[in-house]
Amino acid sequence: MKHFRSIGLALAATFAVGQAGAEELTGTLKNIKDTGAITLGFRDSSIPFSYLDDNQKPIGYAMDICYKIVDAVKKELKLDKLEVKLNPVTSATRIPLMANGTIDLECGSTTNNAERQKQVAFTNTHYLTASRYVFKKSSGLKAIDDLKGKSVVSTAGTTNIKQLTEANVAKSLGANIIPAKDHAEAFLMVETDRAVAFVMDDILLASLVAGSKSPDDYVISKDAFSKPEPYGIMLRKDDAAFKKVVDAATAALYTSGEGQKIYDKWFTQKIPPKGLNLNTPISAELKNEFAKPTDSPNPDDYK
């Protein structure tokens, strides 16, 4: 792969020399300029970040932010028109599609952490979420300690299941941890009493509850398994020029107060297609982050 990259660099260098005097674009920016198109990766069911409406068109909070980034890129490259291509991704395909150049930005609910930064880059944080759990009101499992000896589900491969496992040991809960394939299936396990609680990012729990058959039956815990962790829009690593444009665009969006408006649109009002209202006003931490945007993967940086 190193070879591919050096060939790519060599080619890029040749082109750069070829058009000496013109702007020296590299990486994603050059690609966008050459093709006149930018590709956004979207998720089909990450409500309200990125999901399909009833016309099968991707919408959501992260999508709105991505479109703002697209505007900034268009302006930066001084293009008259920039075609936006949309490409669906899943948690399994987002890395290969990012690495092979199919998508330029991933607009979803991807947690930004240090381990993942070895592989990709993230722009300024657009959401902060902590690990909590959802339970049936009737079971009354208010505190984490109430989970002692119970069956608890979380989604395989998430940071949440990792935190649950750690808490299980640290607090000697002796809980039976069941990994589920995806969020919908994990929630189904609680719905069908296979597990008493589902540990996940609180905002995803809120959207699952809002979309369930009887939202009033479920409660999301006050107790959290973690500090609020950042979500970021994902882009390719080692592409400083593109990241600079994207970072500047998101920073301008958040500090101008427009970010707050987009936030309110998706989290405190009715959203399509079913008119759900997630009723989640902006947290103090995210408000601080919007004032001083950062792409840090460290939860301690968001106080």
Q: Residues in the site for another protein, rule: CB under 8 A?
A: 1, 4-5, 91-92, 95-96, 99-101, 115-116, 118-120, 151, 153, 156-159, 161-162, 165-166, 169, 176, 178-181, 185, 188-189, 192-194, 236-239
Which regions of the chain does DSSP assign to beta strands (E)? Answer: 37-42, 45-46, 50-52, 58-59, 83-88, 105-111, 120-122, 127-129, 131-136, 151-155, 176-180, 197-201, 218-220, 229-236, 270-271, 276-277
CA–CA separation, 128 and 109 (whole Å): 10
Q: Which is nearer to another protein, 179 or 272 (CB)?
A: 179
Q: Which is nearer to another protein, 124 or 159 (CB)?
A: 159
Q: Which is nearer to another protein, 104 or 202 (CB)?
A: 104
Q: Which is nearer to another protein, 151 or 260 (CB)?
A: 151
Q: How far is the CB of 180 from another protein (least distance, A)?
A: 5
Encoded tokens for 39: 């590709």
Q: Which is nearer to another protein, 83 or 166 (CB)?
A: 166
Q: How far is the CB of 117 from another protein (least distance, A)?
A: 9
CA–CA separation, 118 and 16 (whole Å): 28
Task: Tell me if 208 sits within 8 A of 153, measured CB to CB.
Answer: no
CA–CA separation, 109 and 127 (whole Å): 8
Q: How far is the CB of 148 from another protein (least distance, A)?
A: 16
Q: Which is nearer to another protein, 113 or 294 (CB)?
A: 113
CA–CA separation, 172 and 266 (whole Å): 38
CA–CA separation, 72 and 123 (whole Å): 14
Q: How far is the CB of 226 from another protein (least distance, A)?
A: 13
Count of CB atoms situated within 10 Å of the CB of 282: 17
